[in-house]
Amino acid sequence: MTLRIIAGEARGRRLSTPEGIDVRPSTSRVREAVFNSLHSMGYLQGAVVLDLFAGSGALGLEAVSRGAASATFVECAPAALAALRANIEATGFDDRCRVVPGDVWEELPRLGDGYDVALCDPPYQFDAWPELLSQIPADVVMAESDQAVVPGSGWDVIKQRRYAGTVVVIASQQ
């Protein structure tokens, strides 16, 4: 699959994607819709972004390209980490990106606070949304799944939309 940055500073830049069934990059259609929504809601410009289950980093890099101040990526798969680091270098965003290699559940408590937006695209079949979101240190979250996402207490759903087999929810802390 060929991925590109859709808009902003690095528009058109190709991204590497790791091979295998464990990685399922967000489609261009979904990324465009998500980031158009986040931008129109005023959540993106100057934001400090957290990209969990980062994979190739397409979501966080799209955010930085469109005006986010910085992005922190959490990923544990070695092939995905290699692609992620190559993509950060290819976009020229080295000074605005930080890679945290490790399992999301283990790293979340160590990340600290101060994130404006969290981008969460775990493997499909993931169903621990309330537990995950209860630990996310961000004001706004974008959750991508193959099934309905129930954020749990403390979150207000701002937008929910299905794109073929993908469900996207944007929620804010209460």
Q: How far is CA 89 from CA 6, 57, 77, 167, 173, in A?
A: 17, 11, 18, 30, 33
For the domain covering 3-173, report its CATH number: 3.40.50.150
Q: Tell me how far apart the alpha carbons of residues 64 and 94 are, in angstroms, rounded to a whole number.
A: 11
Per-residue model confidence as pLDDT tens digits over 4-49: 889 999 998 899 887 764 555 666 788 889 999 999 999 999 999 9
Per-residue model confidence as pLDDT tens digits over 91-148: 999 999 999 999 999 999 999 999 999 999 998 789 899 999 999 999 999 999 998 8
Does residue 3 carry a pLDDT above 80? yes
Identify the H or E element spanning 117. Answer: strand 115-120
Domain extents for the chain? 3-173
Residues across the chain: 174
* Residue 70 · residue 98 · CB < 8 Å: yes
| Cβ-proximal residues to 110 (8 Å cutoff; 6+ apart), any chain | none
Q: Tell me how far apart the alpha carbons of residues 29 and 108 are, in angstroms, rounded to a whole number.
A: 28
CB burial readout 135-162, b (16+ within 10 A) else e: ebebebbbbbbeeebebeeebeebeeee
Mean pLDDT score across all residues of the chain: 91
Per-residue model confidence as pLDDT tens digits over 59-80: 999 999 999 999 999 999 999 9
pTM of the predicted structure, to 2 decimals: 0.93
* Residue 127 · residue 151 · CB < 8 Å: no
